[in-house]
Amino acid sequence: MAQHTYDFGLIGLGVMGRNFILNVADNGFKAFGFDLDKEKVEALQKEGGDLDKVDASTDQATFLDALQLPRKIMLLVPAGKIVDQVIENLLPHLDEGDLIIDGGNSLFTDTDRREAYLKEKGIHFFGAGVSGGAKGARKGPSIMPGGSREAYKEVKPIFEAVSAKYKGEPCVAYLGPKSAGNYVKMVHNGIEYGLMQLTSEIYDLLGKAGDMSNKEMHLAFDSWNKDRLQSFLVEITAEILKKEDEYGPGELVDKILDKAKQKGTGKWTSQNAMDLGIPVPSIDIAVSMREISALKNDRIAADKIYGRPEPKRIEKKKLTKMAEEALYFSFIVTYAQGLHQLSEASKEYEYDLNLGTIAKIWRAGCIIRARLLADITKAYQSRPDLPNLLLDPSFSEEIKATIQSVRELVSYGAENGIPLPGLSNSLTYFDAYTSGRLPLNLIQAQRDFFGSHTYERTDRTGTFHTEWES
């Protein structure tokens, strides 16, 4: 093997890493992988076949010698301490100007720390969120890079080649300095949590309120995916609902335990939104519902104590129409919350994010890709300073046309004991955000009463305090 002949290096040859590096090779770039696991290295070599553009090794020195200078090395390893360990192992053997790219779901503050640390040593570093799962990594993901603009130029041709394409446009763009890429990916995942929770609630409603079979629900989701709700999550929901169980009669979905796991990115989104003072209740409750789902034994015990009312049936055609409108409404509201968080984070962390660009690179490849994002892109391109998607005229018309179904279904869920926290929180957020006056004047009075925290008035300027007890 000739030294310094490979264009791109990748560390971490699990399913995501192997698929990504094969994608790089498929697009005409020579790529070399590294993993301590011999089986993973051999799996890549086998899948790469006779390609002379991809190879791998379990030896770090061989890996580093194979790469062109300055080296472009991407890490697709689990977030956390492992990333720091890989960096420390590489550092003594790197040359000034080499570039390390973290393609995992690292916490954005870790990315800021690593960039500053490596900059002192003359090494470029940036985070690049990669979304699309294993299939996306192989065929074209959405990529969200942030950090040094100059360093990004080194890998821009590769990233644009391997990314998903929407009408010919690559779903990748430089997003901003420091940890902008990892931050955007974090919020992307928070939105993903919200959309998944909402989709599961609509599935639950169709079954309980409409007594619809999995096959009937499959047809509903499949038809929605051909219209304005076209999206990856609606598409795969339709596929899931028709999948038969290989171990017995019926569909597989009915045999899956109702305990959802998480890797932390949704929680980080929610926590950081609280730090910024930005409301994202549709995302918050999606995180909480995964935590509640983990309490399986407690839920079974509580179910036996309290029971559940027998749901009143809703005619299937009517329910299907209402469910589609409710899901569309709540999808819009969830995107609105996530994009609002990105807008405020951009100011707080000096990312200078372009929300139109972000929506644009989410249109294909990623988990939250949806037809809706084309309209969101247009909204922010026409008005880059749009404070909230709900203030856009085109979306306000869509909201007005669908909100009555949301109100009826949320009310139905409350009356019939069907938990709809995602829908409820989306509706509550909307009603609060669109209320010219909220009852928080009373809270301010209470705070002043017990803590002398003062308040402002509606009829005059200044700050006031009252001695409430005579």
Residue found under tokens 């409404």: 329
Alpha-carbon distances of 177 from 145, 147, 252, 404, rounded to whole Å: 9, 4, 45, 42
Q: Which residue has the tokens 């899931």?
A: 240
User: How far is Cα 444 from Cα 438, in angstroms, rounded to an integer?
Assistant: 11
Separation between Cα atoms, residue 167 and residue 165, nearest integer Å: 6
82, β-bridge pairs: none
Instruction: Note whether 28 and 161 are within 8 A (CB).
Output: yes
The closest of 94, 100, 78 to 152, measured between CA atoms, is 100
List the one residue out of 103, 58, 49 whose CA is nearest residue 78: 103
Q: Which residues contact 346 (CB under 8 A, 6 or more apart)?
A: 176, 352, 353
Q: Is 68 exposed, middle or buried (0-12, 13-18, 19+ CB in 10 A)?
A: middle
- Catalytic: 192? yes
Q: Are 125 and 102 in contact (CB under 8 A)?
A: yes
Residues 6+ positions from 440 with CB-CB distance below 8 Å: none
| Catalytic one of 30, 72, 185, 360 | 185
The residue annotated as part of the active site, out of 40, 72, 115, 192, is 192
Amino acid sitting at position 223? S
Q: String of b and e for 221-259 (b: at least 16 CB within 10 Å)?
A: bbebbeeebebbbbbebbebbbeeeeeeeebbbeeeeee
Amino acid at 457: R
Query: Using omega within 30 degrees of 0 as the cis cutoff, is the peptide bond preceding 157 cis?
Result: no
d(CA 205, CA 34): 47
Say whether 263 counts as a known binding-site residue.
yes
Q: Is 189 labelled as part of a ligand binding site?
A: yes
Among candidates 208, 224, 190, which has minimal Cα distance to 422?
190
Measured CA to CA, the distance from residue 153 to residue 44 in angstroms comes to 27
Cα–Cα distance measured from residue 110 to residue 182, given in angstroms and rounded to the nearest whole number:
10
CA distances to 67, 143, 197, 305, 330 from 129, rounded to whole Å, are 23, 6, 22, 45, 25
**Residue 105 in marked binding region:** yes
Residue with tokens 């954005």: 108
Q: Is 185 a catalytic residue?
A: yes
28 marked as binding residue: no
Q: Is 453 annotated as a binding residue?
A: yes
CB 198 within 8 A of CB 331: yes
Task: Determine whether the annotation assigns residue 447 to a binding site.
Answer: yes
Annotated binding site for substrate: which residue ranges?
105, 131-133, 188-189, 193, 263, 290, 447, 453
Q: Which residues are catalytic?
A: 185, 192
